[in-house]
Amino acid sequence: MRKIRDVLRLKFEAGLSHQQIAAASGLSKGAVTKYLQRAEVAGMGWPVPEGLDDVQLEARLFPKSTAPGTRHAGPDYARMHQELKRRGVTLQLLWDEYTAAAAGRTYRYSQFCERYRQFAAGLKRSMRQIHRAGDKLFIDYSGVTAEIIDGNTGEIRQAEIFVAVLGASHYAYAEATWSQQLPDWIASHVRCFNFLTVVPALLIPDNLKSAIRVACRYEPEATSTYQDLATHYGTAILPARPYRPKDKPIVEGCVLLVQRWILARLRNRQFFSLADLNGAIRPLLADLNNRPFKKLDGCRRDAFEAIDRPAMKPLPGVPYEFAEWKHATVNIDYHIEVDRHYYSVPHALVRQRIDVRLSTSGVECFFKGNRVTASMRSYVRGGYTTDPAHLPEAHRKHLEWTPGRLLNWAQSIGPATRQVVQWQFDHRPHPEQGYRACLGLLDFARRYSDERLEGACLRALAIGAPTRPRIKAILVSGLDRHPDLFAAPPTDSPSPAHANIRGAGYFIATEPEKTTC
């Protein structure tokens, strides 16, 4: 369903052709046509109705399954072309194997050979590319690096050169970065769009790992972060075929121009920071874009202002914030782990696999294309970020009880009850271990009157056993109704007179007589 959304966006918002949409989304042209026809029948365009998730979208576009067609089973001409290079392999042999293995209708031998010859005739040809205004931005890294010297240690580091060029006007952009890793790759795109102040319809990168997760000639897949950037700016990604530099000859030529007219001019200068190097690149880049064409009128900047800029989309109001995408499985405590920190999600998603978008300031969780939660990002390892709304009702009620609330409740019953509750907290290794005993006392308050519970707590304190089982036994046996049984004896009663009782004077020690030697 995500690709169907991309097809609708690229058709109705970007205005691309079916062939371009197929190449950008990794689908066949026929599949793109089928999706758009079904969307037209369903009366859908772009954007899709708000609140329509993937399940509902699929139900509207595919209400009934279609029966399979009766087309001819086409042979694999590319494999045939390679097999014919082997000794003894002929078209007759390949046709026999094709008819034996095909499950449906097959071509006759004459049609089989004719179609193969048409396929072979189209091989090894170069096509002159014609680029529409504002259509494509070709992106690559220069193979030549620039040296930067660490002023403290004297260490020499190599800086990569990011190069981008528009197809119609050949307007170029270049900058230095420390690496070709994903953060530098995304940051270079953001600065390139800010330099252009507009956004092209298509991005044509090379198949580096920071951009393309699966480098395939037919169905390439961009990394989640790179695709997220393209969605934010309303553009599409169409990577060049692996090992096919002719797919992007403009950027290959621009790389040479950057090496000759920028890096070669800086070969005798020393730089001690990345900012110094980019500061030296900017005026040389402006000079490159202002250099007159040799066979055409004007320069790259004039062509950009006249051709590309009017046809390109403006920048969004907010620049893209770098974010990484990860997968996470919701644990039984309805939390996910992201960089050693735990974030809560709705408890109904326990054991489900969700997509997590990580930016420098926030964490967003998506399930089947729908955002289920968003929270501020925390870098405290081992910490928890929990939203009470994500907890089951029983867990929320448990968290509502705190030591202060329990003591206030006990005070409303009586001072003896409060002493019993305080005793639970004071005689446990951890306060939470006394929660259950206190909740048990609360249960007694529901079954017995406040006066009886207060009397039971008073008796338990008098006998030195203010525990829940002892209080329960007192309530069940009804001993709380007999306060005289545990009344404290008077402390000022005189001792009985008796001849065998010795008074305090008996214990007064007499000083021993002194002896002389």
For a pLDDT cut of 90, what percent of the chain falls above it?
A: 15
CA dihedral sign, ordered 491, 492, 493, 499? positive
Among 342, 410, 334, 416, which Cα is nearest to 380's? Answer: 342
Among 326, 384, 376, 379, which Cα is nearest to 356's? Answer: 326
State the pLDDT confidence band at 195, using cuts at 50, 70 and 90. very high
| Long-range contact pairs involving 482-491 (C-beta distance under 8 Å, separation at least 24) | 483/455, 483/458, 483/459, 485/459, 486/458, 486/459, 486/462, 488/462
Neighbour tally for 33: CB within 10 Å = 15
Q: What is the pLDDT of residues 351-378, one digit of tens each?
A: 888 888 887 778 889 898 788 888 888 8
Q: State residue 517's pLDDT score.
A: 44
Q: What is the pLDDT of residues 321-337, one digit of tens each?
A: 887 788 888 887 788 88
State the pLDDT confidence band at 129, using cuts at 50, 70 and 90. low
Q: State residue 66's pLDDT score.
A: 44
Annotated domain spans of the chain: 2-61, 77-121, 136-314, 323-393, 401-482
> Which of these ranges, 46-55, 402-411, 494-503, has the smallest mean pLDDT?
494-503
353: left (phi over 0), alpha (psi -120 to 50) or beta: beta
In angstroms, the CA 75 to CA 11 distance is 32
Q: CB-based contacts of 222: which residues, under 8 Å, 6+ apart? A: 211, 212, 213, 230, 237, 239
Domain 136-314 bears CATH identifier 3.30.420.10? yes
Q: State residue 271's pLDDT score.
A: 92
Q: What is the pLDDT of residues 139-190, one digit of tens each?
A: 989 888 899 998 888 889 999 999 999 988 889 999 999 999 888 999 999 9
In angstroms, the CA 139 to CA 55 distance is 36
In angstroms, the CA 248 to CA 192 distance is 18
Q: What is the pLDDT of residues 286-309, one digit of tens each?
A: 999 999 887 667 888 988 998 888
> Which of these ranges, 18-32, 149-163, 164-178, 254-268, has the smallest mean pLDDT?
18-32
| Mean pLDDT over each residue of the chain, to the nearest integer | 80
Tell me the CA distances in angstroms from 120 to 81, 116, 124, 229, one per residue in order: 8, 6, 9, 39
Please report, in angstroms and rounded to a whole number, the separation of the first and last CA atoms in the chain: 116
Assigned architecture for domain 2-61: Orthogonal Bundle (1.10)
The answer to whether residues 474 and 480 touch, using CB atoms and an 8 Å cutoff, is yes
> Which of these ranges, 222-231, 275-284, 364-373, 476-485, has the smallest mean pLDDT?
476-485
